[in-house]
Structure 1
Amino acid sequence: MRRRTALAGALVLTTGLALTGCSSGGAPVLEVTGAFMPQPVSDMAAGFLVVRNSGGADRLTSVTSPLSDHVSIHETKDRVMRMVTSFEVPAGGQLDLERGGNHLMFTGLKERPRQGDTVPVELHFEKAGRIAVDVPVKETTYNPRKQ
């Protein structure tokens, strides 16, 4: 009987440790895909992309680009846009920045990129650090969800 109790206790302890290890999520493993910027028609532009995370949770905290000294991250809820300080990139999930939703906002453009150009952007994450992305400029009406 003692042997079964000891075995059951060891099994519970091992299972608990395994679950604790899973819940911490570990380091984020980030991949950026689907980036694009519609060709701007003024001194402002928007940027869209997907950040896939196959590791632990992280946060997008800021964005920089030589295109503008003022790049911010914007949330859209109930068709109202507002600047936010960060976006969560969930463990094992993704952050979608897409038309009609959350996005990057470039204001006071130093130049107006044209369709076919690429815009260098650096995404800053709380844990993963910086990720450089070359964002292709698409036609003004481009929307990959409608392709």
Structure 2
Amino acid sequence: MNRRTTPVNRRIALTAALALTAGLALTACGGGTTGNTAPQLKVSDPYMPQPVTQSMAGAYFVIKNSGGTADKLTSVTSDLSKDITIHKTVGNKMEQVDSLPVPANGELTLGPGGNHLMFMGLSKKPAEGQTVTIELHFATAAPITVQVPVKATSYTPKH
């Protein structure tokens, strides 16, 4: 059988090559389930122990990221205070940081003795049973507004 390159054979070969190239391009662009999705953030278990004084308060919660891309908590705003800082605890020392990582398919936990928020110079002293509104800001994801219940000073979460 004589296999000469004819215009029909060239068109068939070109069509096959284009189909293969398109399939590879779609896979590379995330057409598959490779986990390269944007951060998907959700806040759970927020609380603020009732402040002892009007000078400072702390807040705790968990940020869960079900997305395939990491993000960072970069700042927090609230009408409770104009001076809200992010802290991590290393050993027995508390350090102010510019951000905290929220890992891909993971979580960032803020709790007593670890990562937490500090509210300085409170505009009012919230009481147990009240709710404080805060807005969390991230490097990538849209801000999240969180209603934080004020708990007793001695409150310990059940997790």
**TM value normalised by structure 2:** 0.77
2:101 corresponds to: 88
Aligned-partner Cα distance in 1 for 2:129–2:35: 42
Spell out structure 1 runs of 4+ moving beyond 6 A: 21-24
Q: Gaps spanning 5+ residues in structure 1: where? A: 1-9
Q: CA separation in 2, counterparts of 1:78 and 1:22?
A: 39
Residue 46 of structure 2 aligns with which residue?
A: 35
Counterpart for residue 97 of structure 1 = 110
Query: Could you say which residue in structure 2 is the equivalent of 1:136?
Result: 149
Unaligned segments of structure 2, at least 5 residues: 1-20
Q: Distance in 2 between matches of 1:93 and 1:52?
A: 6
Counterparts of 1:39-118 in structure 2 under 5 Å? Answer: 39-42=50-53, 43-55=55-67, 56-118=69-131
Q: CA deviation at 1:26?
A: 2.1
Q: Does 1:25 align with 2:49?
A: no
Amino acid at match of 2:144: I
| Bigger Rg over Cα | 2
**Contact preservation (8 Å) 1:25, 1:57:** no
**In the alignment, is the contact (CA less than 8 A) between 1:35 and 1:48 conserved in 2?**
yes
Count of aligned pairs between the two proteins: 135
